[in-house]
């Protein structure tokens, strides 16, 4: 039996116990980062991770394979809370443009006005910036045709570029090596 690696694993929906069962885009990112196999790699921004996990699970198998390169692009995107909030705000704006009229079960996607009680935000999970990635991916995957899929991949590139440092600057983001090192338990 052939060993499964980041080069041979097939992207599939859902979470998996091991790469032998397949991998979602974030599980592949964990493999590329040298982290424990997980759909929540430490080196990936939670907003981007939630977006890619949700989109991975909602698109058809052919389009899902286009996410392979985004597993690598996402590694090292974990940044400051300010960058997370900026990415979440981009997700809110983008999703509200995709679905100006939202399904009844979906919370508001636009900027959350101060009149929204904190308890409601917490109940809906919207006090966590990464949830914006989830809702934006749902909007992107809804009735996704090839044009919307290409626009979605472009949007992920835009999310990744937020907080990226120009050449020569010291980045605020966590490298894959730093994330993997911090995940190890001394022993």
Portion of the chain with pLDDT greater than 70, in percent: 67
* Whether the predicted model's global pTM rises above the 0.95 cut: no
Q: What are the tens digits of pLDDT across the range 119-149? A: 655 555 555 667 888 888 988 888 778 999 9
Task: State the pLDDT at residue 95.
Answer: 84
**Token couple for 82:** 């300010």
Least confident of 62-66, 84-88, 130-134: 130-134
DSSP codes of every residue in 118-136: HHHHHHHTTTSTHHHHHHH
pLDDT of residue 144: 77
Distances (CA, A) of 20 to 7, 31, 35, 67, 161: 12, 13, 17, 19, 32
CB 179 within 8 A of CB 43: yes
The answer to whether 108 and 115 are in contact (CB under 8 A) is no
More confident residue, 40 or 99: 40
Average pLDDT of the chain is 77
d(CA 10, CA 128): 30
* pLDDT for the residue 110: 44
Domain boundaries, the chain: 19-183
pLDDT value of position 32: 92
* Highest mean pLDDT of the ranges 21-25, 139-143, 154-158, 168-172: 154-158
Q: How far apart are CA 109 and CA 106, in angstroms?
A: 8
Distances from the Cα of 36 to the Cαs of 10, 30, 39, 99, 185, in angstroms? 18, 6, 10, 36, 12
User: What per-residue confidence (pLDDT) applies to 93?
Assistant: 86
In this model, does residue 184 exceed pLDDT 90?
A: no
pLDDT of 25 > 60? The answer is yes
* Cβ–Cβ < 8 Å for 42, 182: yes
Which is more confident, 168 or 73?
A: 73
């Amino acid at each position: 039996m052939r060993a499964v690696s980041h080069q041979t694993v097939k992207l599939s929906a859902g979470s998996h116990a091991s790469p032998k069962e397949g991998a979602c885009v974030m599980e592949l990112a964990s493999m590329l980062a040298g982290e424990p196999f997980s759909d929540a790699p430490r080196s990936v921004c939670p907003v981007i991770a939630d977006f890619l996990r949700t989109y991975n699970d909602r698109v058809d198998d052919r389009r899902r394979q286009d996410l392979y390169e985004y597993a690598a692009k996402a590694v090292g995107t974990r940044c400051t809370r300010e960058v997370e909030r900026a990415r979440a705000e981009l997700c809110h704006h983008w999703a509200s443009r995709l679905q100006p009229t939202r399904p009844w079960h979906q919370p508001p996607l636009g900027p959350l006005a101060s009149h929204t009680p904190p308890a409601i935000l917490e109940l809906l999970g919207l006090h966590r910036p990464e949830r914006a990635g989830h809702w934006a991916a749902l909007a992107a995957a809804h009735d996704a045709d090839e044009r919307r899929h290409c626009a979605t991949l472009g949007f992920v590139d835009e999310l990744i570029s937020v907080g990226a440092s120009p050449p020569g600057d010291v980045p605020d983001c966590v490298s894959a090596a730093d994330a993997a090192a911090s995940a190890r338990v001394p022993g």
